[in-house]
Amino acid sequence: MSIAAANTSMRVPAGFRNLLEGLAREVLRQQPKDVVAFAAQYFQKLLEQREAGGLDPVAWGAMLED
């Protein structure tokens, strides 16, 4: 049984758009040769900042979107 894509409703999680815009901005600024590796390092840094007690970039992005 298949489900038609038009019948499903998906919502982008709060903060996700801002998170991806930040990644896109850094990719355009730095022009890495390996975008996937760059993205992995970018998100690892954000995760380390969040775990160190800094501001959660997703929560911050969600506040901007409201």
pLDDT tens per residue, range 5-62: 666 788 888 888 888 999 999 999 999 999 999 999 999 998 888 888 877 777 766 7
Based on the structure, what is the number of domains in the chain?
A: 1
What is the pLDDT at residue 59? 73
What is the pLDDT at residue 27? 97
Distances (CA, A) of 20 to 7, 26, 52, 56: 26, 10, 21, 14
Q: Identify the CA nearest to 26 among candidates 50, 43, 51, 49.
A: 43
Give me the numbers of helices (H) and strands (E) for the chain, helices first please.
3, 0
Structural domain contains residue 47: yes
What is the pLDDT at residue 66? 61
Structural domain contains residue 10: no
Structural domain contains residue 3: no
- Segments forming the whole domain that contains residue 31: 16-64
Ranges assigned E (strand) in 1-66: none
What is the pLDDT at residue 40? 97
Structural domain contains residue 1: no
Structural domain contains residue 28: yes
Structural domain contains residue 59: yes
Structural domain contains residue 5: no
